[in-house]
């Protein structure tokens, strides 16, 4: 580093007041050095001589006027203070002219400060003191945990300048930003803070600096919550210009050199060479030793082992033969001549070449060339597709005699990015495999680039129903440690997203990934033997193998087969056309037939009636015949026969909600954010989850999606959202059943509190993963809660705080008043009041408990005229009294009649004389004139007073005579006897 100008006031005072002593010798040039005074307001300064030691000599040169403060030298030059002119740096040294450089990181250079802090102030108990930037010799590395690590450097510029640095940023799980604060504490614009992912090599970054004080900040935060190894951000070669003049040149560090004067930087030494500090040339390592590029010393070569070589195959020769070749891993560092070393196996064994890959044919020179458009092959010869068929275009790699031209392999090791060792995957006939690396922590990458995707001619006009592309590969891993195989996809090889990861040994298996964006044109397979660094190679035998790779609908691809398609007309040269919407193609004929009602077609090439998929319950197909949807209305028949009608339209807008917060080992709080688009008419905006951290801005769209959210203040954002994925992209059906289409929603997850059944929406995702081989699914229970007015009252099972217990099946409970059936007449009753003052009121009230919302409203209260109760009471009493009197009178009347009849009967019986079966003689029923009424002789002792009184009453008959009671026969006979005695 340069020595900057200090405050020289005390030196000037010393010059003014130093006593002259004749005993001190005269100063030589080696006894003092020159420095400039501080600049005055006019921008001028003085050059003064400063003794190296006080009171050692006398006769220092007088101060002279110095250069202007704006004066500076160019790169590779320094300011000679004696002549005050710029001179070139000598060989073996370098200079930035008006700047400083930091390229040695054995420790933090003076002026640099690093510290680790928590992401959020609420978690004050998290210990981030060790989460800092760490010097690693040639570079400084960031932290790899959830803490925020900051590296800062304060510098004062005499004039506007720049800061330049190199960085390696391979992992988008880390947020990396660089910004500058000036005198006014103004920071760099947030948009320019974001560092881009490195591509292939170290990236370079330059920022302009203002004159005055500037504080430089490099800041990283890891936001991943998965248990995976994170690759740190590396930083090196920091250079700042505009600081001041440079009065000296700096020596090249060990491992570098400058061969000519006037160098601005030192060049690293190549492999197997070394250099010391201030070297002008690099020296070759001694016999039996080696060194990596940029080394300051050489190391003894270890004995060769089986891990130091690999095998491959040569291209096919004119005879159709290939040779098995063994090669040393380059650069070769082992020694095969010392004791215990293995030698390279003999090469040259000839074998029959494997066939060409499908879509290629064998030329006369035994090379493989692609078939032309409209032709297909199985790897031997090309055949034209017959009329009425079309080629199935793509890339299929199943034979590995050479690495395909659109594939390459490389080793990712940030410490040795520029290493010549780039052999990571090699061909082995039936598969491609990972070769032993220099270190077990190396990332062995196999990269496939495709130009884009093009739909077949028969589906090019029907993009909504067609599958853009799909990649399928067969692989195997054999490991003795904690190896990992990553599959990545993205728009370039250094900005890929991890699609899937496999740990440890995995048997031979197939994996398929659906490509949904035309910008996804790069795929990578990355294998790491272990994440634990060790200088010794322990796991070189761990290997990953890929047997086949097949990707469909690739632009410029080749065909391995042809398939039947519908034709535009009956002409022999008719072109293939897609079947109309809602039609499938009859196999072997090319005829299009209509699918049954309420079915959709999701197959890429709909052949056969099986391509027509029936829509689930209470769903209807869309106009494009590509999926089924719900219009948010539902009619449901209960077991009792009651019709319930639902309208979920108020819940149709996309709704977001979070899981309960969780914490990583460092205390970083995070939670899962879900977005749901329950239902809606055609054209409804789907739920979208995005990645707002990396520049890729990846997003997914569907009915239900999830992303990981970390509350943070980084990037001037309150929320950091990452790792989005789809849970449901198709609606299976809407029903009250707990099982549909292989998806279950057990009652036990959300115990019901009422007898009204829950309405369940079933969703499924087409994305498959290693953990979810059948894809993910989601169920949303809508439960009627008339008192819940919030539209986003969504909860998760109590035993699965993130909505899922297995990571594949998600379950949610949505309680809302809008989840209730629409109200009808059956949901209310009427209450009739008493008649008060001739008025009667009818009131309508809801049945309790209330289990409906919306629909019909309660009718208004009705008022009607009525007769009061007291009037009816009076009328009733009067009527009752009259009826009682009449009843009593009638009773007396009939009683009297009965007594008369009894009397006559008794009299008739007396006249019979006690003889049976003898009729009495006829008596006169009338009283003759002059006869005395003998009714007074009747026995009245057994008659009531009322009866006695009635017996004396006389009734005049209609003929003018008075009617008298009849006498009995015995009475008449006795009277006759009495009359005879008197005579």
Whether cis (ω within 30° of 0) applies to the bond prior to 849 is: yes
Q: Are 549 and 475 in contact (CB under 8 A)?
A: no
Q: What is the CA radius of gyration of the chain?
A: 54
Of the listed ranges 21-35, 636-650, 719-733, 948-962, the least confidently predicted one is 948-962
pLDDT band of 209, cuts 50, 70, 90: confident
Assess whether pLDDT exceeds 60 at residue 7: no
172: its two tokens: 């988008």
Tell me what percent of the residues of the chain surpass a pLDDT of 90: 22
Output the DSSP codes for 541-556. T-EEEEEEEEEESBTT
pLDDT at 508: 92
Q: Over the stretch 825-834, which tens digit does the pLDDT of each residue have?
A: 888 888 888 8
pLDDT at 546: 96
Residues 121, 122, 123, 125: is their CA dihedral positive or negative? positive
Q: Which of 348, 376, 351 is nearest to 366 (CA)?
A: 351
What are the start-end ranges of the H helices in 273-387?
none
pLDDT at 14: 44
Assess whether pLDDT exceeds 50 at residue 961: no
Assess whether pLDDT exceeds 70 at residue 463: no
Output the DSSP codes for 156-218. EESS-EEEEEEEE---TTEEEEEEEE-TT-PBPPGGGTBPPPP-SS-EEEEEEE-SEEEEEEE
User: If you average pLDDT over residues 729-752, what whole number do you get?
Assistant: 91
Q: Which residue would you say has higher pLDDT here, 688 or 879?
A: 688
* Separation of alpha carbons 48 and 40, rounded Å: 15
Assess whether pLDDT exceeds 50 at residue 72: yes
Helix (H, G, I), strand (E, B) or coil at 122: coil
* Helix/strand/coil (H/E/C) assignment for every residue in 500-569: EEEECCEEEEEEEEEECCCCCCEEEEEEECCCCCCCCCCCCCCEEEEEEEEEECECCCEEEEEEECEECC
The length of the chain in residues reads 983
* Separation of alpha carbons 537 and 139, rounded Å: 24
Q: Which of 969, 950, 715 is nearest to 189 (CA)?
A: 715
pLDDT at 850: 85
pLDDT at 654: 92
pLDDT band of 317, cuts 50, 70, 90: confident
The count of other CB atoms within 10 Å of the CB of residue 760 is 21
What are the start-end ranges of the H helices in 421-470?
none
pLDDT at 911: 67
Assess whether pLDDT exceeds 50 at residue 11: no
* Separation of alpha carbons 436 and 328, rounded Å: 10
User: If you average pLDDT over residues 588-606, what whole number do you get?
Assistant: 80
Assess whether pLDDT exceeds 80 at residue 22: no
Across 314-318, 455-459, 547-551, the highest mean pLDDT is recorded for 547-551
Q: Quick one: DSSP state of residue 980?
A: H
Q: Over the stretch 790-812, which tens digit does the pLDDT of each residue have?
A: 888 999 998 888 888 888 999 99
Residues 654, 658, 659, 665: is their CA dihedral positive or negative? positive
pLDDT band of 69, cuts 50, 70, 90: confident
Of the listed ranges 449-458, 677-686, 775-784, 861-870, the least confidently predicted one is 861-870
Q: Which residue would you say has higher pLDDT here, 70 or 343?
A: 343
Q: Are 800 and 779 in contact (CB under 8 A)?
A: no
* Separation of alpha carbons 32 and 21, rounded Å: 17
**H-helix or E-strand containing 391?**
strand 389-397
Q: Which residue would you say has higher pLDDT here, 171 or 643?
A: 643
pLDDT band of 969, cuts 50, 70, 90: very low
**H-helix or E-strand containing 257?**
strand 256-257
Q: Are 680 and 652 in contact (CB under 8 A)?
A: yes
Domains of the chain: 103-243 (2.60.120.260), 306-353 (no CATH), 354-561 (2.60.120.260), 564-629 (no CATH), 653-819 (2.70.130), 828-865 (no CATH)
* Separation of alpha carbons 193 and 704, rounded Å: 33
Whole-Å CA distances, 421 to 273, 430, 439, 444, 736: 16, 24, 11, 11, 62
Q: Which of 324, 347, 624 is nearest to 459 (CA)?
A: 624
* Separation of alpha carbons 963 and 728, rounded Å: 112
Assess whether pLDDT exceeds 90 at residue 646: yes
pLDDT at 570: 55
Whether cis (ω within 30° of 0) applies to the bond prior to 331 is: yes
Query: Phi/psi of residue 415, each to 5°?
Result: -65, -20
pLDDT at 6: 40
User: If you average pLDDT over residues 748-771, what whole number do you get?
Assistant: 86
**Apex 760 CA angle, 756 and 764, nearest 5:** 170
Q: Which residue would you say has higher pLDDT here, 351 or 781?
A: 781
Q: Are 552 and 563 in contact (CB under 8 A)?
A: no
User: If you average pLDDT over residues 198-223, what whole number do you get?
Assistant: 84
pLDDT at 620: 93
Residues 270, 272, 276, 281: is their CA dihedral positive or negative? negative
- β pairing state of 628-629 and 620-621: antiparallel
Give the number of C-alpha atoms closer than 13 A to the C-alpha of residue 542, restricted to the C-beta side. 25
Whole-Å CA distances, 220 to 28, 118, 143, 725: 52, 12, 7, 25
Which pTM does this prediction carry? 0.68
* Separation of alpha carbons 800 and 113, rounded Å: 44
Tell me what percent of the residues of the chain surpass a pLDDT of 70: 81
pLDDT at 250: 86
pLDDT band of 535, cuts 50, 70, 90: low
Q: Which residue would you say has higher pLDDT here, 777 or 329?
A: 777
Q: Quick one: DSSP state of residue 903?
A: H
Q: Over the stretch 246-263, which tens digit does the pLDDT of each residue have?
A: 778 888 988 999 999 999
pLDDT at 464: 52
Q: Catalogue the E-assigned strands of 253-300.
A: 256-257, 267-268, 273-274, 283-284, 289-290, 299-300
pLDDT at 774: 84
Q: Are 354 and 430 in contact (CB under 8 A)?
A: yes
* Separation of alpha carbons 334 and 309, rounded Å: 10
User: If you average pLDDT over residues 467-485, what whole number do you get?
Assistant: 91
User: If you average pLDDT over residues 28-49, what whole number do you get?
Assistant: 82
Q: Which of 435, 139, 432 is nearest to 294 (CA)?
A: 139
Q: Over the stretch 925-956, which tens digit does the pLDDT of each residue have?
A: 444 444 444 444 344 444 444 444 444 444 44
Measured between its terminal Cα atoms, the distance across the chain in Å is: 189
pLDDT at 354: 82
Assess whether pLDDT exceeds 90 at residue 411: no
The count of other CB atoms within 10 Å of the CB of residue 842 is 14
* Separation of alpha carbons 415 and 136, rounded Å: 9
Q: Are 477 and 544 in contact (CB under 8 A)?
A: yes
* Separation of alpha carbons 895 and 550, rounded Å: 118
The count of other CB atoms within 10 Å of the CB of residue 752 is 11
Assess whether pLDDT exceeds 70 at residue 154: yes
Residue listed under structure tokens 């933090």:
108
Q: Which residue would you say has higher pLDDT here, 384 or 767?
A: 384
Q: Are 149 and 219 in contact (CB under 8 A)?
A: yes
* Separation of alpha carbons 752 and 392, rounded Å: 52
Assess whether pLDDT exceeds 90 at residue 143: no
pLDDT band of 30, cuts 50, 70, 90: confident
Give the number of C-alpha atoms closer than 13 A to the C-alpha of residue 742, restricted to the C-beta side. 6
What is the average pLDDT score of the chain? 80
pLDDT at 763: 96
* Separation of alpha carbons 217 and 215, rounded Å: 7
The count of other CB atoms within 10 Å of the CB of residue 840 is 16
User: If you average pLDDT over residues 279-289, what whole number do you get?
Assistant: 92
Residue 981 neighbours by CB under 8 Å, 6+ apart: none
441: its two tokens: 């922590």
* Separation of alpha carbons 63 and 53, rounded Å: 18
pLDDT band of 188, cuts 50, 70, 90: low
Q: Which residue would you say has higher pLDDT here, 258 or 880?
A: 258
**Apex 121 CA angle, 115 and 125, nearest 5:** 75
- Ramachandran class of 741: left when φ > 0, alpha when ψ lies in -120 to 50, beta otherwise: left
Residues 137, 138, 144, 146: is their CA dihedral positive or negative? positive
User: If you average pLDDT over residues 9-21, what whole number do you get?
Assistant: 46
Q: Which residue would you say has higher pLDDT here, 972 or 645?
A: 645
């Amino acid at each position: 580093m340069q020595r900057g100008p200090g405050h020289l006031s005390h030196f000037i005072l010393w010059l003014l007041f130093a006593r002259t002593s004749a005993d001190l010798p005269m100063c030589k040039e080696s006894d003092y050095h020159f420095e400039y005074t501080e600049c005055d307001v006019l921008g001028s300064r003085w050059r003064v001589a400063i003794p190296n030691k006080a009171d050692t000599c006398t006769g220092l040169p007088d101060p002279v006027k110095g250069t202007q403060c704006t004066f500076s030298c160019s790169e590779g030059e320094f300011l000679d203070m004696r002549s005050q002119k710029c001179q070139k740096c000598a060989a073996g040294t370098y200079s930035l002219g008006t700047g400083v450089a930091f390229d040695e990181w054995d420790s933090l250079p003076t002026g640099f400060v690093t510290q680790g802090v928590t992401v959020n102030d609420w978690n004050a108990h998290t210990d981030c003191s060790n989460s800092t930037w760490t010097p690693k010799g040639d570079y400084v590395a960031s932290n790899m945990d959830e803490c925020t690590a900051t590296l800062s450097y304060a510098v004062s510029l005499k004039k506007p300048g720049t800061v330049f640095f190199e960085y390696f940023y391979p992992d988008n799980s880390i947020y990396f930003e660089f910004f500058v604060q000036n005198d006014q504490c103004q920071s760099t614009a947030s948009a320019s803070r974001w560092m881009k992912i490195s591509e292939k090599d170290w990236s370079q970054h330059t920022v302009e600096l203002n004159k005055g004080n500037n504080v430089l900040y490099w800041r990283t935060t890891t936001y991943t919550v998965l248990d995976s190894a994170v690759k740190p951000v590396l930083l090196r070669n920091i250079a700042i210009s505009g600081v001041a003049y440079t009065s000296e040149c700096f020596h090249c560090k060990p491992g570098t050199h400058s061969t000519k004067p006037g160098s601005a930087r030192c060049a690293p030494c190549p492999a197997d060479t070394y250099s010391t500090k201030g070297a002008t040339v690099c020296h070759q390592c001694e016999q039996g030793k080696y060194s990596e590029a940029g080394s300051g010393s050489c190391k003894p070569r270890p004995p060769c082992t089986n891990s130091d070589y690999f095998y491959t195959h040569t291209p096919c020769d004119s005879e159709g033969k290939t040779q098995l070749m063994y090669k040393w891993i380059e650069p070769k560092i082992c020694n095969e001549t010392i004791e215990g070393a293995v030698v390279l196996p003999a090469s040259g064994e000839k074998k029959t070449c494997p066939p060409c890959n499908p879509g290629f044919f064998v030329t006369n020179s035994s090379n493989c060339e692609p078939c032309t458009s409209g032709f297909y092959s199985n790897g031997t010869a090309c055949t034209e597709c017959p009329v009425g068929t079309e080629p199935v275009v793509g890339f299929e790699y199943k034979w590995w005699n050479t690495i395909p031209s659109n594939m390459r392999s490389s080793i990712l090791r940030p410490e040795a990015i520029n290493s010549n060792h780039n052999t990571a995957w090699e061909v082995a006939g039936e598969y491609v495999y990972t070769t032993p690396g220099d270190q077990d922590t190396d990332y062995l990458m196999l990269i496939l680039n495709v130009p884009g995707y093009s739909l077949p001619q028969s589906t090019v006009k029907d993009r909504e129903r067609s599958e853009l592309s799909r990649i399928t590969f067969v692989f195997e891993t054999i490991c003795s440690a904690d190896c990992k195989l990553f599959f990545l996809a993205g728009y370039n090889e250094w900005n890929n997203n991890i699609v899937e990861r496999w740990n440890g040994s995995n048997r031979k298996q197939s994996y398929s990934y659906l490509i949904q964006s035309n910008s996804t044109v790069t795929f990578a397979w990355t294998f790491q033997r272990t994440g634990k660094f060790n200088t010794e190679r322990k796991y070189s035998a761990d290997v990953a193998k890929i047997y086949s790779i097949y990707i469909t609908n690739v632009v410029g691809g080749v065909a391995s087969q042809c398939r039947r398609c519908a034709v535009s007309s009956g002409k022999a040269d008719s072109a293939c056309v897609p079947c109309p919407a809602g039609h499938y193609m009859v196999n072997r004929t090319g005829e299009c037939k209509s699918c049954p009602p309420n079915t959709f077609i999701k197959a890429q090439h709909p052949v056969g009636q099986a391509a027509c998929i029936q829509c689930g319950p209470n769903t209807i197909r869309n106009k494009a015949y590509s999926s089924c949807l719900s219009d948010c209305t539902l009619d449901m028949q209960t077991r009792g026969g009651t019709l319930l009608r639902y309208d979920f339209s108020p819940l149709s807008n996309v709704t977001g909600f979070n899981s309960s917060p969780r914490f990583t080992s460092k205390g970083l709080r995070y939670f899962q954010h879900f977005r749901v688009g329950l239902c809606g008419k055609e054209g409804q905006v789907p739920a979208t989850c995005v990645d707002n951290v990396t520049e890729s801005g990846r997003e997914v769209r569907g009915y239900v999606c999830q992303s990981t959210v970390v509350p943070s203040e980084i990037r001037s954002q309150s929320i950091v959202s990452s790792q989005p994925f789809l849970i449901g992209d198709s609606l299976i059906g809407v029903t009250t059943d707990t099982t549909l289409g292989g998806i279950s929603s057990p009652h036990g997850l959300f115990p019901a509190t009422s007898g009204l059944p829950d309405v369940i929406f079933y969703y499924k995702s087409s994305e498959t993963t290693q953990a979810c081989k059948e894809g993910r699914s989601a169920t949303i229970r809508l439960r009627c809660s008339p008192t819940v007015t919030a539209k986003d009252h969504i909860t998760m099972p109590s035993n699965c705080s993130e909505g899922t217990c297995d990571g594949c099946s998600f379950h949610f409970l949505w309680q809302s008043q809008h989840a209730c059936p629409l109200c009808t007449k059956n949901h209310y009753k009427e209450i009739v009041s008493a008649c008060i003052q001739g008025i009667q009121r009818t009131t309508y009230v809801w049945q309790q408990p209330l289990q409906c919302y919306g629909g019909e409203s309660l009718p208004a209260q009705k008022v009607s005229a009525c007769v009061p109760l007291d009037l009816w009471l009076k009328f009733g009493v009067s009527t009752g009294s009259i009826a009682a009197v009449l009843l009593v009178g009638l009773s007396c009347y009939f009683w009297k009649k009965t007594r008369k009849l009894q009397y006559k009967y008794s009299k008739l019986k007396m006249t019979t004389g006690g003889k049976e079966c003898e009729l009495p003689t006829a008596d006169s029923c009338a009283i003759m004139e002059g006869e005395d009424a003998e009714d007074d002789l009747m026995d009245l002792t057994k008659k009531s007073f009322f009866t006695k009184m009635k017996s004396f009453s006389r009734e005049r008959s209609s003929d003018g005579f008075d009617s008298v009671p009849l006498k009995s026969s015995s009475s008449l006979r006795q009277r006759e006897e009495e009359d005879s005695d008197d005579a």
